[in-house]
């Protein structure tokens, strides 16, 4: 899978990791990048990026916008499911509604977008789906139980569609970042990786066919622990 001359779509592209992914796709010569935004007031960041970028309205919780997406995108090489939320839900103390919120967005929203764009991906001889999960999707961080459950479900979804889409020649990549310096981690007292480094590593991994992408210094340490000892990682994260 090469980014040069490809058509890509990035969800949650108006800020954070999504915005730098769009810029990095342009740097690598993508011919067209569909970049989704949820609210009109956040579209300006995308309008400045030139005519290879096509801003598209998308709200993962609104099926109408997802259906429109499939009408406006006829063929696609790279789908990057980046949009997501972090609510900090504590499973034993918070409401079921808060957990549903995490799962509606991070799992069902991502799945609906993927299904809507599958016909466009199948039209191309070379195509990839990149799902942005989290290290918290590999083993639970108890203080962020809702987020962990939603990202673990996304990890499982990634494995399911990888198996199903192999025969269609569509590669499926899971991305498992640690803390990255975006609005999502504002107020966190921990080292965060620059989103531009994370975006470069995500696209390097996609171009090189890496199925599990660990795009920052913390996830580079977590990845091998998960791959060799999932139980060890659970024990490691138990205090979070």
Ligand X SMILES: NC(=O)c1ccc[n+]([C@@H]2O[C@H](COP(=O)([O-])OP(=O)(O)OC[C@H]3O[C@@H](n4cnc5c(N)ncnc54)[C@H](OP(=O)(O)O)[C@@H]3O)[C@@H](O)[C@H]2O)c1
**H or E, element range at 197:** helix 195-207
Please pick, from the candidates 185, 197, 212, 236, the single residue that binds ligand X as defined by CB under 6 A: 185
CA distance 161 to 159: 6
Please pick, from the candidates 182, 205, 218, 223, the single residue that binds ligand X as defined by CB under 6 A: 182
Min. distance of Cβ 169 from ligand X in angstroms? 26
Q: Does 179 bind ligand X (CB under 6 A)?
A: yes
Min. distance of Cβ 112 from ligand X in angstroms? 11
Which residues, numbered 61-80, are part of the site for ligand X (CB under 6 A)? 61
- How far separated are the first and last CA of the chain, in Å rounded? 37
Q: Does 105 bind ligand X (CB under 6 A)?
A: yes
**Listed residue (195, 214, 229) closest to 24, CA to CA:** 195
Question: Which of 34, 37, 147, 226 is flagged as catalytic?
Answer: 147
Q: Does 114 bind ligand X (CB under 6 A)?
A: no
Q: Phi, psi (5° rounding) for residue 49?
A: -90, 5
Please pick, from the candidates 59, 197, 207, 212, the single residue that binds ligand X as defined by CB under 6 A: 59
147 assigned to active site? yes
Among 2-10, 52-60, 116-124, 159-167, the segment contacting ligand X (CB under 6 A):
52-60
Min. distance of Cβ 125 from ligand X in angstroms? 28
Q: Does 237 bind ligand X (CB under 6 A)?
A: no
33 Cβ contact partners less than 8 Å away, ≥ 6 residues apart: 7, 8, 9, 10, 22, 25, 26, 52, 53, 54
- What DSSP state is assigned to residue 167? G
Contact by Cβ (8 Å): 47, 23: no
70 Cβ contact partners less than 8 Å away, ≥ 6 residues apart: 116, 117, 119, 120
Q: Does 9 bind ligand X (CB under 6 A)?
A: no
Q: Which residues are catalytic?
A: 147
Site of interaction with ligand X (CB under 6 A): 12, 14-18, 38-39, 42, 58-61, 82-86, 105, 109, 132, 134, 177, 179-180, 182-185
């Amino acid at each position: 899978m090469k980014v040069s001359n490809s058509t890509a779509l990035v969800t949650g592209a108006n800020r954070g990791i999504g915005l730098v992914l769009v810029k990095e796709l342009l740097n690598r010569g993508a011919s067209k990048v569909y970049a989704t935004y949820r609210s009109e007031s956040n579209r300006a960041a995308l309008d400045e990026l030139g005519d290879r970028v096509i801003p598209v309205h998308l709200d993962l919780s609104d099926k109408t916008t997802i259906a429109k997406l499939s009408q406006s995108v006829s063929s696609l090489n790279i789908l990057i499911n980046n949009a997501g939320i972090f609510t900090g839900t504590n499973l034993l103390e918070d409401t079921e509604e808060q957990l549903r919120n995490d799962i509606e967005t991070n799992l069902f929203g991502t799945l609906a977008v993927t299904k809507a764009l599958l016909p466009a991906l199948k039209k191309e001889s070379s195509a990839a789906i990149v799902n942005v999960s989290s290290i918290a999707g590999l083993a639970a961080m108890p203080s962020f139980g809702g987020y962990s459950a939603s990202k673990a479900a996304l990890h499982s979804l990634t494995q399911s569609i990888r198996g199903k889409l192999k025969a269609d020649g569509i590669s499926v990549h899971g991305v498992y970042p640690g803390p990255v310096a975006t609005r999502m981690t504002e107020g966190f007292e921990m080292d965060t990786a620059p989103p531009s480094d994370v975006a470069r590593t995500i696209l390097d991994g996609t171009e090189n066919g890496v199925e599990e992408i660990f795009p920052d210094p913390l996830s580079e340490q977590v990845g091998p622990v998960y791959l060799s000892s999932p139980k060890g990682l659970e024990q490691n994260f138990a205090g979070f």
